[in-house]
Chain A
Amino acid sequence: MINVRDLLRIGTRQVFRHRNRYYGGILAIALGTCGFIVVMTMGRDIKMNINRDLDLLGGATMVKVTFRRDMPSCVKSFFKQDTVDAISRLPGVNIVSLSAMKNLYASTFLREKEFGFVLVGVDDAFWTASSFTPKSGRFFSIEDVTERRKVCVLGSVLANRIFGNLPALGQSILIDCDYYEIIGFLEGTGVGDMNQFAFLPITTAVDRIDCMTPKNKLYVRCRTWDDVESVASLIPGTVRQFQSDNGLQVDVARAQLKYIKKIAWWIQLFVFVSISATLCLGATGIWYGMMTAVRSRTREIGLKKAMGATNHDIMAQFLTESLCLSIGSTVIGTGLGWLIMNIIGALIHSSPVHGLFIASVMTSITISVILGVAAGYYPSAQAARLEVISAVRFE
């Protein structure tokens, strides 16, 4: 029996010399592998970005946790910092934001006219958790919150109501006897009624504004829609570890979540069917190339048998060629996948998970071995079955 080293050497040499025959199959398998690696490695990060975008339509991955204020026993309940920290460490949680709201309408005066509005105290994570971007100016930084700065973000509709066409950025606004500098404006898809609200850093609001509720509302942003149910189910137990959960209410947008999951399922199905189809196309390309090779190299097969090659030697040689093709294509696809993965990573500001990449490469190689054997077995068996006499005399 021919040894493995010679088999590989001859196999790769033959594939290289007859490469024109296999370009289609190589390209298809390389693209399929590339798609597979990108989807497997970057899928979760892409999902997170899609989450963020889809949330603009309704916040399906947001879990809202509040202490009910309609129950007298928990009117003053608030989230302790330990509870907030523990929830932010739960698996599947991306970001947690704490907020409080003024019980009554706040108001301001400009040119002797009073304007009422809802006043909300939020932390620096609120904007990221809610996927908000400023229309102009900026949102609160961590320093604004920790140093209890007297700064304010206005919803754009409210700003327009108060200031009209006058420039408002950098102006001061009077709220509850204190002046606050306007540092940014909120507007955009998904903002909803909040473009009529005014926002203060939560620490400033709790310190300076009368009638603020306690810090009783948590916005918990999950990494993907797959994490929402598990995060929602873990929150009550986590809260109980640090404080009473009396009156705790966990809200999940289940209808939206179900709808998004359904869309995502179809998209995933489409992607995987496309990848599978591409890989099958590649395998068919290899099969066809190998069948052509067996026919065009019939005389070579006869000569080799005349030199003493056994049926197994011939079969092993053609199977090796098929495997070289499929594994070689996978290596090309892996390189391409790595490149695209890094480009996508740079675009969505995410770094690919090394372990996932290795796992997807290993899976790709396993698939390519299966494809190579599946595509090469029949042509190899045909080659091995050729009779020496008819092969040698083949013109």
Chain B
Amino acid sequence: MNNSDCIIKISNLAMNFHTPAGDIPVLNGVNLEIHKGESLAILGPSGSGKSTLLFIVGLFLTPTAGSYVLNGREIIDIDEKNKAEFRRNYFGFVFQSCNLIENSTVFEDLEYPLIYAGIPPRERKERIDEVLTRVHMGHRIYHRTNLLSGGEQQRVAVARALVNRPHVILADEPTGQLDSENSQNIMDLFLECISDKKTALILVTHDHKVADRCAKTCYFNGGTLTEVA
């Protein structure tokens, strides 16, 4: 892979959580490069800092030290408004559970990212139809999200992460509450979504079977990230 394909470059990243009892170091000198079309699984024990790294990458948290270059731009010190803009334009998020907005239909849920991105209503409908077809949920477009099964809800969540055509999909234990069949289905979806070689996937998981399907696997321990061969 050449340098022009690099979307995310993180160098010497450190993160300490400040508590009344003192600082707790979580990340310590993390280095990471993500290229277009790449899939990365991050494994590690609970509390090792996997999700923290994912949230830093997703601009939910600001690291204590280090460098974070997104698409060639250093973004470690950008303000909240710009962070929102980057989240809108670069990332699609999938969380472990309670991923969808309560009291909404599938269409309404998928419409939010498009509204925030300023996409006109007619185009929104086209994009939602397209992405729901990709995750095989087109027939559920006007169904209430709370009436869907767990697997279906996670498919909708994947669709929502994709609807804005992000550069990177960030998934925090997306299969944590699914059975193995549904987990494999979701992974199929993810890999199909990044097959266009334009989108990258960063996935945090405890499940080795899920991690094995990614092109690259890293292991978190002691606040540092080690690539597993």
Q: Which residues of A contact B (CB under 8 A)?
A: 2-3, 6, 10, 13-14, 17-18, 297, 299-300, 303-311, 313, 387-389, 392, 395
Complex A-B: 28 CB contacts under 8 Å: A6-B115, A13-B108, A14-B103, A299-B98, A300-B102, A303-B99, A303-B100, A303-B112, A304-B101, A305-B87, A306-B87, A306-B93, A307-B113, A307-B116, A308-B87, A308-B88, A308-B113, A308-B164, A309-B84, A309-B112, A309-B116, A310-B80, A310-B84, A310-B116, A311-B80, A313-B84, A388-B60, A389-B55
Q: Is the CB of A300 within 8 A of B101?
A: yes
Q: Is the CB of B87 within 8 A of A392?
A: no
Residue interface mask B84-97, A partner, CB < 8 A = 1: 11011100010100
Contact pick for B87, options A18, A307, A387, CB 8 Å: A307
User: Interface extent on B, as a size class?
Assistant: 20 to 34
Interface presence of B36 (CB below 8 A): no
User: Which residues of B are found within 8 Å of A299, using beta-carbon distances?
Assistant: 98
User: Which residues of B are found within 8 Å of A308, using beta-carbon distances?
Assistant: 84-85, 87-89, 113, 116-117, 164
- B92 → chain A closest CB, angstroms: 9
Query: In the complex, what distance in Å separates the CA atom of A52 from the CA atom of B88?
Result: 69
Least CB separation from B118: chain A residue:
A3
Query: In the complex, what distance in Å separates the CA atom of A6 from the CA atom of B121?
Result: 9
Interface presence of B63 (CB below 8 A): no
Least CB separation from A308: chain B residue:
B88
User: Which residues of B are found within 8 Å of A18, using beta-carbon distances?
Assistant: 103
The 5 closest A-B pairs by CB, nearest first: A308-B88, A307-B113, A310-B84, A308-B116, A389-B60
- A180 → chain B closest CB, angstroms: 81
Interface presence of B215 (CB below 8 A): no
Least CB separation from A311: chain B residue:
B80
User: Which residues of A are found within 8 Å of B93, using beta-carbon distances?
Assistant: 306-307
Least CB separation from B56: chain A residue:
A389
Query: In the complex, what distance in Å separates the CA atom of A94 from the CA atom of B93?
Result: 74
User: Which residues of A are found within 8 Å of B113, using beta-carbon distances?
Assistant: 307-308
Contact pick for A306, options B58, B80, B81, CB 8 Å: B58
- A324 → chain B closest CB, angstroms: 16
Least CB separation from B163: chain A residue:
A307
Q: Which of A14, A304, A308 lies at the interface centre, i.e. has the most chain B CB atoms within 10 A of its CB?
A: A308
Query: In the complex, what distance in Å separates the CA atom of A313 from the CA atom of B85?
Result: 12
User: Which residues of A are found within 8 Å of B85, using beta-carbon distances?
Assistant: 308, 310
User: Which residues of B are found within 8 Å of A10, using beta-carbon distances?
Assistant: 115
Q: Is the CB of B99 within 8 A of A305?
A: no
User: Which residues of B are found within 8 Å of A311, using beta-carbon distances?
Assistant: 80-81, 84
Name the prevailing secondary structure of the A interface residues.
helix
Q: Which of B102, B113, B116, B160 lies at the interface centre, i.e. has the most chain A CB atoms within 10 A of its CB?
A: B116
- B83 → chain A closest CB, angstroms: 9
Query: In the complex, what distance in Å separates the CA atom of A307 from the CA atom of B163?
Result: 10
Least CB separation from A6: chain B residue:
B115
User: Which residues of B are found within 8 Å of A14, using beta-carbon distances?
Assistant: 103
Q: Provided the pairs A2-B116, A3-B118, A389-B61 are in contact, do residues A307 and B160 lie with their beta carbons within 8 angstroms? A: yes
Least CB separation from B160: chain A residue:
A307
Give me 6 other A-B pairs in contact (C-beta within 8 A), A313-B84, A389-B61, A392-B60 excluded. A6-B115, A18-B103, A297-B102, A307-B93, A309-B116, A389-B55
User: Which residues of B are found within 8 Å of A3, using beta-carbon distances?
Assistant: 115, 118
Q: Is the CB of B101 within 8 A of A305?
A: no
Query: In the complex, what distance in Å separates the CA atom of A18 from the CA atom of B103?
Result: 9
- A317 → chain B closest CB, angstroms: 10
Least CB separation from A2: chain B residue:
B115
Query: In the complex, what distance in Å separates the CA atom of A37 from the CA atom of B93?
Result: 50
- A393 → chain B closest CB, angstroms: 9
- A20 → chain B closest CB, angstroms: 12
Query: In the complex, what distance in Å separates the CA atom of A14 from the CA atom of B102?
Result: 10
Q: Provided the pairs A3-B118, A6-B115 are in contact, do residues A310 and B164 lie with their beta carbons within 8 angstroms? A: no
Least CB separation from A394: chain B residue:
B98
- B167 → chain A closest CB, angstroms: 13
Query: In the complex, what distance in Å separates the CA atom of A395 from the CA atom of B81?
Result: 26
- B216 → chain A closest CB, angstroms: 24
Q: Is the CB of A307 within 8 A of B112?
A: yes
Least CB separation from B59: chain A residue:
A388
- A321 → chain B closest CB, angstroms: 13
Residue interface mask B113-152, A partner, CB < 8 A = 1: 1011110000000000000000000000000000000000
Query: In the complex, what distance in Å separates the CA atom of A392 from the CA atom of B98?
Result: 9
User: Which residues of A are found within 8 Å of B108, using beta-carbon distances?
Assistant: 13
- B163 → chain A closest CB, angstroms: 9
Q: Which of B98, B113, B115, B164 lies at the interface centre, i.e. has the most chain A CB atoms within 10 A of its CB?
A: B115
User: Which residues of A are found within 8 Å of B117, using beta-carbon distances?
Assistant: 308
Query: In the complex, what distance in Å separates the CA atom of A108 from the CA atom of B115?
Result: 94
- B121 → chain A closest CB, angstroms: 8
Query: In the complex, what distance in Å separates the CA atom of A297 from the CA atom of B160?
Result: 19
Residue interface mask B209-227, A partner, CB < 8 A = 1: 0000000000000000000
Residue interface mask B26-38, A partner, CB < 8 A = 1: 0000000000000
Contact pick for A313, options B61, B116, B160, CB 8 Å: B116
Q: Which of B58, B80, B160 lies at the interface centre, i.e. has the most chain A CB atoms within 10 A of its CB?
A: B80
Least CB separation from A312: chain B residue:
B81
User: Which residues of B are found within 8 Å of A392, using beta-carbon distances?
Assistant: 60, 95
Query: In the complex, what distance in Å separates the CA atom of A18 from the CA atom of B87?
Result: 29
- B191 → chain A closest CB, angstroms: 22
User: Which residues of B are found within 8 Å of A387, using beta-carbon distances?
Assistant: 60
Query: In the complex, what distance in Å separates the CA atom of A392 from the CA atom of B51?
Result: 12
Q: Is the CB of A306 within 8 A of B60?
A: yes
- A135 → chain B closest CB, angstroms: 68
User: Which residues of B are found within 8 Å of A313, using beta-carbon distances?
Assistant: 84, 116
Q: Is the CB of A307 within 8 A of B88?
A: yes
